[in-house]
Structure 1
Amino acid sequence: MSPKHIVFKKISKDKSVGVYMGKRDFVDHVDSVDPVDGVLLIDPEQLKGKKAYVTLSCTFRYGGDDMDVLGIAFRREIYISIRQIYPPLQDKEQGILTKVQDKLLRKLGVNAYPFFFEFPDNLPCSVGLQPAPKDVGKHCAVEFEVKAFCAESQDAKVRKRSSVRLMIRKVQYAPENLGPAPCVETTRDFLMSDKPLHMEASLQKQTYYHGEPIKVRVKISNDSNKNVRNIIISVEQIASVVLYSNDSYMKAVATEDSGDSVDSGAKLDKVYTLLPLLANNRERLGIALDGKLKHEDTNLASSSIIKEGVLKEVLGILVSYRIVVKLIVGGIMGSSEVGVELPFQLMHPKPDTVKESELEDEVVFEEFKRTNLKGMAEDEDEGNVSTGEH
């Protein structure tokens, strides 16, 4: 039997508008991005002659909504697109519908209208920095949101109870064409030593999946007169906040302090295994995480793959990973370090997709709720908010 298709829905508190979407994750394939599509359900009696709109926005947030430093609020709308959905600007029959939209329109009836957005190719992916345990309600993140509302015009004030907001994610998956396995070597000469120390480090492949152990092969030929006292291998995550500054956070998310030694004149050839997991880094400030939805858990942020020609400054937060192999070398005159770095990618595999032609006529509706952040107030039933506020 073909798998049923889950459709996520969210209805405004006054029942005037409701949004139905077939997915919450939209894939950035580097050369193209999945379009955002869904269906807007309106209640003509509740609209009372007003128009209905849907917006797609990308926002960079830093700190709480009320945070203001030197008169500057660290909140920037990177992108916003607004569509008038009702009254429709074109006949519903003229538009090209996805399979899910077609099923929803038939199921929801005459008051349902499709909407469609194309992502620009220069937007960042959903990513955020983990706040410290005491920083309740504060976070640094790139967020995407679909918002539906009714108003006299798109620039008019909007009652919160007449609007609905849905968090979505823009994600990247591991590329199908994988690059060569990283390998690096170094030779170090020491004072008062006729021969050098040589080290080679290598990985089995360039791209690893979240939750997959990483095996690092280390080969050492110690022809020097120094002793290698210890070998430390770590996985480092580098998160560069490039939008408002050039802040860079480097965190070791997995470390193997082996205690292995290589005496003068000896050799070593050994494989070390590391497993970078969010579960081991939950209390650490500044760890970059993939965007989070609803009450689902997330993981360490995936590596950023940048389309050639796109300015990095607009990409919010860029994430990369590297293996660092460090030798602690000791001698009579004290100790020194010899190290190498192996860049690699940490990503999700591309999931198996269900072809639209295989979808059953029956769809399963699931409430679409935004994650409630600790210390963040719920939207009030009353009050007004402009369309530019989220």
Structure 2
Amino acid sequence: MPKEDMGNYGPKLGVDWTMYTQVIVNLCLLAVHQSLTARHGYAVQPLGLISCQKAAQHITAALRVKCELSKIWSGPQSVTMSPKHVVFKKVSKDKLVAVYMAKRDFVDHCDFVDPVDGVIVIDQGQLKGKKVYVMLSCTFRYGRQDMDVMGVAFRRDLFVVTRQVYPELQDKEKLTHTKVQQKLLHKLGDNAFPFFFEFPDNLPCSIALQPGPSDVGKKCAVEFEVKAFCCENQDEKINKQSSVRLTIRKIQFSPENSKLVPVAETTFEFLMSEKPLHLKLSLPKETFYHGEPIPVTVEITNSSSRNIKDISVSVEQVTNIVLYSNDKYVKSVAKEETSDSVPSGTSLKKDYTLYPLLAHNKDRRGLALDGRLKHEDTNLASSSIVKQEVLKEVQGMLVSYKVIVRMIASGTIGSSEVSLELPFKLMHSNPEPAKEGESDDMVFEEFKRAYLKGVVYGSDDESPTEA
């Protein structure tokens, strides 16, 4: 808008442009005045400030001017931007195959699992009569990688399925199951071919056991991978230059939260004490979400002759390796130690709040995660849900959580520790289903996940260029 028009427009709105400019300048001075007052703890005399009441009157008028001017400058029509689809891609080193997928994480909703779908783009000029395959696999890894050379099983494939993508065995329309696939095929052209997989019901979710600093080469994880490759037949050795590996995650989301209120209570009897000690531990609900605080209610009725002290409340993660070994890892992921005491003949009821977060446990060895520690979107592993008629051994690893209250009961003839535990579930919240927009606009991003700053990649770790 020309300056002369602005001068004519101002009076129509009842705004003095000179005063409007003065208001802006004085607001800046007022902000500096308040900052100095807060920083130095004493009042700084403002210079040349108009009264706040007068400024407020003109701020209202100024905002009205801003609103009207935005209408004039933007024109009579308002444009609503359509949301764009984010599509992840990865290309082989020789540019022969490229994989496009709309997801990196696939959700187990308990009654169904999100299918794995995507599109492969092929450079047919380089194929030279070879075929193109795509494979979905679930693998359990346990031990050192050099154990394979020694003849000891380092890995076990829990699930593998391979499909031929090119030459086509079916029409593209029959293999296209989602709108995103349709849009990708339309955008990427005739050299794009769809693929589609469904997870069976008996597969575990992605879990990785965090190794310690000295555990070079060791790995314990349940991993899912999509691999695209080209060769004469699917059984021959795969050329890494002409293949694409994408590590995806299968994540357990929470079923509907039951109305069950978890409660545990017990009674302890001591030598030389006529009456017992009664403990009660309770939670407001059975399932908590990652990042959510966990309120724990502890009730102690001490009718015994002992004195209760050193009360602590903690959340422990229990990981059972059910395939290849019977190893068990128990790690505290949140703990509150108190100076509370309950003398003989008294009682205590108190609420404690715990925060089981990965951010507080990044240096802990043997901690189960739902991904890799170096990735920004990694959390503590969710509680394992074993479906009916599914063998536990097929899960590879089982993760559970419990709240434990511990205390010392001291007496004249010695002291003893008493404790009480209560299991609960820690999971991802179930988001609302995503709505597929009508827009064909897509944003292509590299498949690799964002990495945490300061992470050092060891020789056994994948490099930042890997999926």
Same fold (TM over 0.5): yes
Residue-by-residue CA offset, 1:267-318 (whole Å, 9 max, x unaligned): 1011111111112221121010112498434121111111111000010111
The aligned counterpart of 2:45 is: none
Cα 1:359–1:349 shift into 2, 3 Å: farther
Paired with 1:23 and 1:36, the residues of 2 have a C-alpha distance of: 8
| 1:129 equivalent in alignment to 2:129 | no
Match of residue 386, structure 2, among 306, 311, 318: 306
Find the partner of 1:32 among 109, 112, 136.
Answer: 112
TM-fit CA distance, 1:42: 0.7
Is 1:17 matched up with 2:97? yes
Greater Cα offset, 253-262 or 295-304: 295-304
User: What amino acid maps onto 1:224 in structure 2?
Assistant: S
Aligned to 1:165, what secondary structure does the other structure show? strand
Equivalent residue in structure 2 for 1:283, among 343, 360, 363: 363
> How far apart in 2 are the matches of 1:264 and 1:3?
65
Q: Is the 8 A contact 1:59 1:77 kept in 2?
A: yes
SS at match of 1:66: helix
Is the Cα–Cα contact under 8 Å of residues 31 and 307 in structure 1 kept in the other structure?
A: no
Q: Give 2:442's aligned residue.
A: 363
- 5 Å-filtered alignment, 1:1-390, equals 1-68=81-148, 71-292=151-372, 295-356=375-436, 358-369=437-448, 373-376=457-460
Moved more, 128-137 or 366-375: 366-375
Secondary structure class of the residue paired with 2:147: coil
Distance 1:203 1:2, change over 3 A: farther
User: What is the deviation of 1:179?
Assistant: 4.6
* Gapped regions of structure 2 (runs ≥ 5): 1-80
CA shift in 2, pair 1:177/1:270, >3 Å: closer
Compare 46-55 and 275-284 and name the one that shifted more: 275-284
In terms of mean alpha carbon deviation, does 258-267 or 127-136 score higher? 127-136
Aligned length: 379
SS of 2:310's equivalent in the other structure is strand
Larger CA deviation: 178-187 vs 292-301: 292-301
- Deviation at 1:344? 0.5
Deviation string 1:193-239 (CA, Å, 9 cap, x unpaired) is 22111111111111111111111111111111111022111111000
Superposed CA RMSD: 2.0
Give the Cα–Cα distance (whole angstroms) in 2 for the partners of residues 368 and 223 of structure 1. Answer: 62
Letter of the 1:323 counterpart:
V
Q: Which structure is larger by alpha-carbon Rg, 1 or 2?
A: 2
The sequence identity of aligned pairs, in percent, is: 65
User: Mean alpha-carbon deviation: is it higher for 182-191 or for 316-325?
Assistant: 182-191
The change in CA–CA distance for 1:315 and 1:3 in structure 2 (over 3 A counts) is same
Deviation at 1:242, TM superposition (A): 0.8
* Distance across 2 between alignment mates of 1:47 and 1:92: 20
Distance 1:133 1:299 in 2: 20
Cα shift at 1:329: 0.3
Q: TM-score, normalised by structure 2?
A: 0.77
Q: Distance in 2 between matches of 1:242 and 1:186?
A: 30
Residue 237 of structure 1 contacts residue 321 of structure 1 at CA under 8 Å; is this kept in 2? yes
> SS of the counterpart of 2:183?
helix
**Higher-strand-fraction structure:** 1
Question: How far apart are the structure 2 equivalents of 1:326 and 1:294?
Answer: 33
Q: Structure 1 length normalisation: TM-score? A: 0.92
Contact 2:407/2:418 (8 A) holds in 1: yes
CA–CA distance in structure 1, aligned partners of residues 411 and 383 of structure 2: 39
Q: Which has the higher contact order (CA 8 A, sep 6+)?
A: 1
1:35–1:119 Cα contact (<8 Å) kept:
yes
Look up the SS of the partner of 2:121 in the other structure. strand
**Match of 1:375, as an amino acid?**
S
Distance 2:322 2:279 in 1: 34
In structure 1, what is the Cα distance between the partners aligned to 2:374 and 2:229?
Answer: 21
Change in 2 beyond 3 A, CA 1:325/1:377: closer
Aligned-residue offset at 1:377: 7.3
CA distance in 2, matches of 1:69, 1:184: 49
Aligned pair in 2 of structure 1 residues 205, 377: CA closer, same or farther (>3 Å)? closer
How far the C-alpha of 1:374 sits from its partner, in A, is 2.2
Question: Do the aligned residues in 1 keep the contact of 2:176 with 2:194 (CA within 8 Å)?
Answer: no
Taking the aligned partners of 2:124 and 2:104, their CA distance within structure 1 comes to 27
Structure 2 CA distance, aligned partners of 1:227 and 1:221?
11
| Aligned residues of 1:137 and 1:373 also touching (Cα < 8 A) | no
2:38: which partner in 1?
Answer: none
SS, match of residue 403 in structure 2: strand
User: Matches of 1:322 and 1:43 in 2, distance apart?
Assistant: 53
Which stretch shows the higher mean deviation, 216-225 or 171-180?
A: 171-180
List 4+ stretches of structure 1 deviating above 6 A.
none
Residue equivalent to 1:387 = none
Residues 29 and 373 (structure 1), Cα distance of their counterparts in 2 relative to 1, 3 Å cut: farther
